[in-house]
C-alpha cells in the first residue's frame, strides 16, 4: 500500500537524501510562493462581501496548500540513495564468547540465544547478498569458519578492542557493516568516549543485537565494596556496600576474615530503586594483610551466586601516626586527652604545653631535638606530623609564617587540623583574622564573648551517627542510648554559621535549642574540624572510674583524624578490567612532587613467581608513576615498590591486592543496553532486539560504508501528489457549494 501511493518502499525514504533536480535556488521557490500567496490573498479580499472572515481564512489555507504542492512538484524533488553493491561487500558478524554469555537467562544460556539468532532467516538471508566474515570475541576477536564447535570461553570482555581489531583487519577489503551480538558486559571499562571516537572514524556502522534480559528479579548482586586498604590495629572499619537488585526483599551481608566472622547485617531492598547502599562496621584487631570476604545472602531461588561474593585485602599495619597538640595553658582537657590516648600504641600524641610566656612543656617527643625550638617554622618539620590540634591559645602567639604553614599543612600536605574550644581560641582568640579562617568549617563570630562556662548536653546528629568513630556500639539504637546517657560538657563555645561544605556531626543543647559543637569539612587535600568545647573531661569525672566512654571517644577521634591523611609515599595496586593498575605517588618531605625517578615494582604472584615491572611517569600528574600488568592467575598479589634517583634509594613501599578476573565476568550480568546503544549510535548503526530484526537487512543494504552505488529516484510523479491536489480542490469546491458561493 505504501509503494502504491509513494512509488518506492519506505526504506528508501528512511535512508535516502532529499534533493531537487531543478537546479533553481530554493530562495526563488520562497519568493514565488510569497508572490503567489499575496495574489491569492488579493483575490479573496475582493470577495469579502460574499465570504466571511473565517471562510476566507479556510479557503486561503486550502489554496496555499495546493500552491505549495504545485511548487514542490515543479522543483522536481528526488531521492538520492546510496546502497551497498550486493556481492562486492563483506559484512562482519561478531559473537560475544565471554564467560558472561554462559549464564542461563532465564532457562537457556545467552550463547544459545545468540546462536538461535544467527541461525534465523534474517541473519542467514544476509549471506545471500553479502559474504560474511565470522568472528568470536572476548578479550580479543578471532576469525572462525562457523559458529559451531567454538573455543573455550574467556574471562574478559573487551567490546571496543574487538571491534577495532575487526576494523583494522578489514582495511584492504570493502566492509559494509558489522553485526555484533553481545550482552554488553564490558568489564574492562575501556569502551570510553575516546575509543568510541576511534571506532566511529572508520565510518562503518555497527549494528548491535542485545542478548539477555535487562531485569533479573531473581538475582541480587554485590556490585561494589568500598573499604579502606589500610587500617590501624584495633580500629573500627566501615565498609560501604552496594547491592544491585530488580525487586524488593531482604538480603544479608556477612564479613569474614578466614573462619572468623567479623560482622553480619540485614539489608532492606526497596522497590523504588535498583541500587541499594548500606554500611557495615567491624573491628580490625589482628595485624598484617587481612583477606576479608564479603558475602551477600539472598533468596533461595537465586541461580547465579558468583556475583554475591567479593574479596578485599586490608593491611592492618603497625605504623604509628603522629599528632602535634599545642595547648595554651594547663587545663583538665589537656590532661584527660593525653591520658586517654597514651594507651593507644598506634597514635603518638606529641604535645606542647605553654606553661609561662616563653616556657613550653613537651611530652611524647622521640628525642631532645624534636620541637626544642618551639612550634615548627619549616614545612619539613611541621609536615612530619599527620594531624595538628590547636587548644586554648591565641592566634597572636604564632608568627605569620607559622600561620601560613598551618594553612599549607591542610591544603598541601593533606593533614587534619582540629581546633578545641576555650576562652582564648577560635572567635575569642583572634583566629577569624588569620589565614586559618578560610580553613575552618565555620564563620567565626568576631564580636562579643563566644566561650561560655555553662554545662551543656551533647547530641550526635544524623550525619554524625554514620561516622564509625562516633559510635560506642555497632547497634544504632544502643549507640543513641549510650550517647543520651553521657554527662553534660563543662562548657561550650559559639561557632557562628557553618560554611556550605561543612557538616555538623554533633550539636549542643543550649536553652532548648541546638547549636553546632563538632563540625568538619574537607579543605584542599586535607580536613579541618572544630570541637567547640574544652570540657569533655567532665565525662570522665562524672562517670565511674572503670567507665571507658571518654577514653574510647578520644581514641576513636584521634584515629579518625589520621585515617585518611596523605602520605609522602602512596602506593596502590587495583584491579582494572582484566589486569592490575600499579600506581605510586611520590613526594619529598615538603610534599612537593618527586620527579625524574626510576620507579619499579616487584610483584609476587599467587603461584610464587616474581615479576619486575617498570612504572612510567604520567606527564600531566607530576610525581605520579603508573604501570599496567595483566596476570595469568588469580589470588592475592603482593607488590613491593622501590624508587631511585641514580643509585640512591628515594622511597620504598609495599601493598597487596586480590585479583580474580574469572569472577568479574559474573558481575553486571544485566544486559547493558545503554552501552550497546551508545556504540551503535556513535557509528551510525542501530540497536536491535532479538524479537525484532526485520529491518536489519534493509539497514545494512543502505549502509554508507564499503562499495556503494548511487541512484536518483524522482518524487514529483508520485501518485500521492496528484491525489492530494484533487482532494484539496474537491474539498474547496464542496465547501463553496455548502456555503452557496460557487
State the pLDDT at residue 742.
Answer: 61
Domain annotation for the chain: domains and CATH numbers: 2-83+711-739 (no CATH), 86-211+671-706 (3.40.50.410), 220-313 (2.60.40.10), 321-562 (3.40.50.880), 569-664 (2.60.40.10)
199/180 Cα distance (integer angstroms) = 14
Share of the chain above pLDDT 70, in %: 98
C-alpha cell at 429: 582568640
What value does the mean pLDDT take over residues 8-29? 78
If one counts every other C-beta atom within 10 angstroms of the C-beta of residue 518, the result is 25
Closest CA to 178 of 584, 684, 574: 684
Closest CA to 651 of 641, 659, 663: 641
541/43 Cα distance (integer angstroms) = 104
C-alpha cell at 149: 564447535
State the virtual CA torsion across 704, 709, 715, 717 in degrees, nearest 10: -160
State the pLDDT at residue 707.
Answer: 76
657/638 Cα distance (integer angstroms) = 7
| Cβ atoms of 698 and 685 closer than 8 Å | no
C-alpha cell at 47: 470577495
| Cβ atoms of 363 and 335 closer than 8 Å | no
User: E strands within 116-248?
Assistant: 132-137, 141-144, 175-182, 206-210, 220-226, 230-231, 235-245
Q: How confident is the model at residue 417 (pLDDT cuts 50, 70, 90)?
A: very high
Helix axes 110-118, 121-129, angle to 10 degrees: 50
If one counts every other C-beta atom within 10 angstroms of the C-beta of residue 108, the result is 11
pLDDT at 430 over 70: yes
611/55 Cα distance (integer angstroms) = 90
pLDDT, tens only, 473-507: 877 888 889 999 999 999 999 998 999 999 999 99
End-to-end, the C-alpha distance of the chain in Å comes to 36
| Cβ atoms of 489 and 533 closer than 8 Å | yes
Question: 367: cis peptide before it, omega within 30°?
Answer: no
C-alpha cell at 515: 547549636
| Cβ atoms of 313 and 299 closer than 8 Å | no
At 417 the three-state DSSP class reads strand
Closest CA to 118 of 139, 104, 99, 101: 101
Phi and psi at 44, nearest 5°, equal -70, -35
Give, in order, the Cα–Cα distances in Å from 485 to each of 256, 387, 457, 508, 590. Answer: 33, 30, 10, 14, 45
213/86 Cα distance (integer angstroms) = 35
DSSP 209: E
372/361 Cα distance (integer angstroms) = 10
Helix axes 193-200, 159-169, angle to 10 degrees: 20
C-alpha cell at 730: 474537491
pLDDT at 457 over 90: yes
pLDDT, tens only, 348-376: 999 999 988 778 899 999 888 899 889 99
| Cβ atoms of 566 and 230 closer than 8 Å | no
What value does the mean pLDDT take over residues 152-159? 80
State the pLDDT at residue 485.
Answer: 92
The residues, ordered by sequence, that sit 6+ positions from 576 with a Cβ below 8 Å of its Cβ are 188, 189, 628
State the pLDDT at residue 189.
Answer: 65
pLDDT, tens only, 47-91: 666 777 787 788 888 888 888 888 888 888 888 777 778 878 889
Specify the pTM.
Answer: 0.72
54/48 Cα distance (integer angstroms) = 11
Phi and psi at 96, nearest 5°, equal -65, 120
State the pLDDT at residue 721.
Answer: 86
Q: Alpha helices of 441-548 — where are they, by DSSP H?
A: 476-484, 537-542
| Cβ atoms of 716 and 709 closer than 8 Å | no
Average pLDDT taken over every residue of the chain: 88
279/271 Cα distance (integer angstroms) = 19
State the pLDDT at residue 438.
Answer: 93
| Cβ atoms of 333 and 325 closer than 8 Å | no
Amino acid at each position: 500500500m505504501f509503494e502504491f501511493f509513494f512509488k518506492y518502499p519506505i526504506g528508501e525514504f528512511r535512508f535516502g537524501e532529499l534533493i531537487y533536480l531543478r537546479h533553481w535556488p530554493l530562495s526563488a521557490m520562497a519568493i514565488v510562493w510569497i508572490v503567489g500567496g499575496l495574489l491569492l490573498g488579493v483575490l479573496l479580499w475582493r470577495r469579502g462581501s460574499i465570504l466571511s472572515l473565517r471562510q476566507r481564512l479556510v479557503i486561503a489555507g486550502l489554496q496555499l496548500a495546493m500552491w505549495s504542492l504545485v511548487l514542490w512538484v515543479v522543483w522536481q524533488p528526488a531521492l538520492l540513495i546510496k546502497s551497498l553493491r550486493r556481492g562486492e561487500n563483506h559484512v562482519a558478524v561478531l559473537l560475544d564468547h565471554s564467560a558472561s554469555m554462559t549464564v542461563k537467562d532465564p532457562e537457556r544460556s545467552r550463547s544459545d540465544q545468540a546462536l538461535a539468532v544467527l541461525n534465523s532467516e534474517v541473519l542467514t538471508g544476509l549471506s545471500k547478498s553479502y559474504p560474511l566474515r565470522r568472528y568470536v570475541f572476548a578479550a580479543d576477536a578471532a576469525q572462525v569458519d562457523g559458529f559451531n564447535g567454538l573455543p573455550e570461553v574467556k574471562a574478559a570482555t573487551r567490546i571496543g578492542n574487538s571491534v577495532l581489531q575487526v576494523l583494522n583487519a578489514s582495511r584492504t577489503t570493502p566492509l559494509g557493516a558489522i553485526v555484533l551480538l553481545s550482552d554488553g558486559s564490558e568489564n574492562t571499562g575501556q569502551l570510553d568516549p575516546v575509543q568510541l571516537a576511534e571506532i566511529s572514524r572508520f565510518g562503518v556502522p555497527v549494528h548491535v543485537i542485545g542478548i539477555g534480559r535487562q531485569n533479573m528479579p531473581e538475582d541480587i548482586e554485590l556490585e561494589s565494596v568500598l573499604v579502606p586498604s589500610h587500617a590501624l590495629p584495633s580500629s573500627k572499619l566501615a565498609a560501604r556496600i552496594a547491592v544491585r537488585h530488580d525487586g524488593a526483599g531482604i538480603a544479608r551481608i556477612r564479613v569474614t576474615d578466614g573462619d572468623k566472622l567479623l560482622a553480619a547485617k540485614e539489608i532492606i531492598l526497596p522497590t523504588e530503586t535498583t541500587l541499594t547502599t548500606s554500611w557495615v562496621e567491624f573491628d580490625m584487631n589482628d595485624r598484617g594483610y587481612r583477606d576479608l570476604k564479603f558475602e551477600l545472602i539472598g533468596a533461595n531461588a537465586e541461580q547465579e551466586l558468583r556475583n554475591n561474593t567479593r574479596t578485599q585485602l586490608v593491611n592492618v599495619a603497625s605504623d604509628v601516626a603522629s599528632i602535634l597538640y599545642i595547648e595554651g595553658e594547663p587545663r583538665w582537657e589537656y590532661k584527660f586527652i593525653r591520658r586517654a590516648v597514651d594507651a593507644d600504641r598506634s597514635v603518638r600524641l606529641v604535645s606542647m604545653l605553654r606553661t609561662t610566656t616563653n616556657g613550653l612543656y613537651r611530652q611524647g617527643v622521640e628525642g631532645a631535638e624534636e620541637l626544642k625550638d618551639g612550634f615548627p617554622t619549616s614545612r619539613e618539620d611541621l609536615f612530619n606530623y599527620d594531624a595538628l590540634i590547636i587548644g586554648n591559645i591565641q592566634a597572636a602567639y604564632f608568627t605569620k609564617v607559622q600561620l601560613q604553614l598551618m594553612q599549607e599543612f591542610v591544603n598541601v600536605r593533606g593533614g587534619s587540623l582540629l581546633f578545641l574550644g576555650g576562652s582564648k581560641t577560635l572567635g575569642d582568640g583572634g583566629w577569624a583574622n588569620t589565614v586559618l579562617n578560610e580553613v575552618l568549617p565555620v564563620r567565626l563570630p568576631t564580636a562579643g564573648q563566644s566561650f561560655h562556662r555553662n554545662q551543656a548536653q551533647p547530641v550526635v546528629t544524623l550525619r554524625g551517627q554514620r561516622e564509625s568513630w562516633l559510635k560506642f556500639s555497632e547497634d544504632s539504637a544502643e549507640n543513641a542510648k549510650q550517647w543520651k546517657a553521657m554527662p553534660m560538657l563543662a562548657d561550650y563555645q559559639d561557632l557562628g554559621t557553618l560554611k556550605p561544605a561543612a557538616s555538623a556531626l554533633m550539636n549542643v543543647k543550649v536553652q532548648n535549642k541546638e547549636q553546632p559543637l563538632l563540625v568538619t569539612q574537607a579543605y584542599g587535600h586535607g580536613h579541618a574540624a572544630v570541637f567547640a568545647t574544652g570540657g569533655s573531661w567532665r565525662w570522665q569525672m562524672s562517670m565511674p572510674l572503670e567507665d571507658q566512654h571518654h577514653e574510647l571517644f578520644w581514641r576513636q577521634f584521634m584515629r579518625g583524624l589520621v585515617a585518611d591523611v596523605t602520605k609522602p609515599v602512596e602506593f596502590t595496586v587495583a584491579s582494572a578490567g582484566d589486569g592490575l593498575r600499579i600506581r605510586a605517588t611520590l613526594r619529598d618531605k615538603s610534599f612537593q612532587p618527586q620527579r625524574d625517578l626510576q620507579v619499579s615494582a616487584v610483584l609476587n604472584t599467587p603461584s610464587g613467581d616474581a615479576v619486575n615491572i617498570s612504572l612510567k611517569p604520567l606527564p600531566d600528574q607530576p610525581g605520579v608513576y603508573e604501570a599496567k600488568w595483566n596476570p595469568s592467575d588469580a589470588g592475592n598479589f603482593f607488590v613491593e615498590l622501590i624508587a631511585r634517583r641514580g643509585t640512591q634509594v628515594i622511597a620504598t613501599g609495599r601493598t597487596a591486592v586480590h585479583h580474580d578476573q574469572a569472577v568479574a565476568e559474573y558481575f553486571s550480568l544485566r544486559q547493558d543496553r545503554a552501552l550497546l546503544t551508545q556504540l551503535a549510535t556513535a557509528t551510525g548503526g542501530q540497536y536491535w532486539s532479538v524479537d525484532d530484526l526485520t529491518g536489519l537487512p534493509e539497514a545494512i543494504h543502505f549502509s554508507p560504508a564499503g562499495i556503494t552505488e548511487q541512484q536518483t529516484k524522482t518524487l514529483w510523479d508520485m501518485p500521492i501528489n496528484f491525489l492530494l491536489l484533487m482532494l484539496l480542490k474537491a474539498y474547496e469546491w464542496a465547501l463553496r457549494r455548502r456555503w452557496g458561493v460557487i
